Amino acid sequence: MKKLLLYTVLMIVCGQAMAQDLNARVQVLSPKIQVANKRVFQTLETAMKDFLNGRKWSADPILPQERIDCNFVLNVTNWDGSSNFTGELQVQSSRPVYGSSYTSTLLNLNDKDINFSYTEGQTIDYTDQNFQGNLSSIMAFYANIIVGLDYDSFSKFGGTPYFLAAQTIVTNAQTSSYSGWKAFDGNVNRYWLSENLNNKLYNPLRSFLYDYHRNGLDIMSDNVSKGRKAIDALLPLLQQIDRQRVGAMLPLIFYTAKSDELVSIYSKADNQERLTAMNLFLQLDPANGNKYQTLQK
């Protein structure tokens, strides 16, 4: 009987371990909120962490060492003292590079359209069938984006089911009055991130992400020159995307995540290769021009 009980407990524990896809670290900051008791922010932080780490987001069994590292930093800028919160959410995710201790950033995004209701101690409800609350929908949206980008970096177009799930969340949120979910809420929001990731026009960038990581970065731990040459061959794809739709969100997200890494990769190249890469990146990503200009030194 004792052996049966022990076996059952072990099966439950193992099942819970296999069910966790994300290794999400959550911070809730409130420097602008002048109240003596900030316990509600602590409980909100715990609730968000439990929500993200306590659900099965992917279709595959994920080993503990395979969990996707990500960070959610919520900066609360306004709280009515009851249940209504306003703020900004910084979302970051990364994936390991084969044969090294280096992790490559996949997503580094600041969502400025964060408004939601939360009461201390409440359960954060979520279903993919309809819109139940803005906080849960935002977290589920970014969880699917994070998983999708991770899958895209390991398998060409492997993230498609998760980007479709994110699109469903956007569709369900059209019934709400919250901002960030609609096409007319600006050109940098959750609607456009989902639209770009599911739009075949941007398949070249998704294909680039796979080859960049699997045939470029993952090779560099064994052969730096070979990995960088593989990335060199992919750069025309970035030019193709830039010509198709200037100012789109997905390329913006890509360069925000990758600009520092691209500089690091090409800083070790020979002079001609370095300057060629610099001129290309200056053309495609002028917002980070100061970073790329360091390649001429």
Express each pLDDT in 156-209 by its tens digit.
999 999 999 999 999 999 999 999 999 998 889 999 999 999 999 999 999 999
Q: How confident is the model at residue 122 (pLDDT cuts 50, 70, 90)?
A: confident
Q: For the residues 273-291, what does the mean pLDDT come to?
A: 94
Nearest to 251 by CA among 293, 288, 205, 189: 205
Q: What is the pLDDT of residues 18-38, one digit of tens each?
A: 468 999 999 999 998 988 688
Instruction: Tell me if the pTM is above 0.85.
Output: yes
- Cβ atoms within 10 A of the Cβ of 3, count? 7
Per-residue confidence (pLDDT) for residue 19, from 0 to 100: 65
Q: What local confidence, expressed as pLDDT, does residue 241 receive?
A: 81
Instruction: Give the residue extent of every domain in the chain.
Output: 2-198, 206-296
How far apart are alpha carbons 120 and 108 in whole angstroms? 29
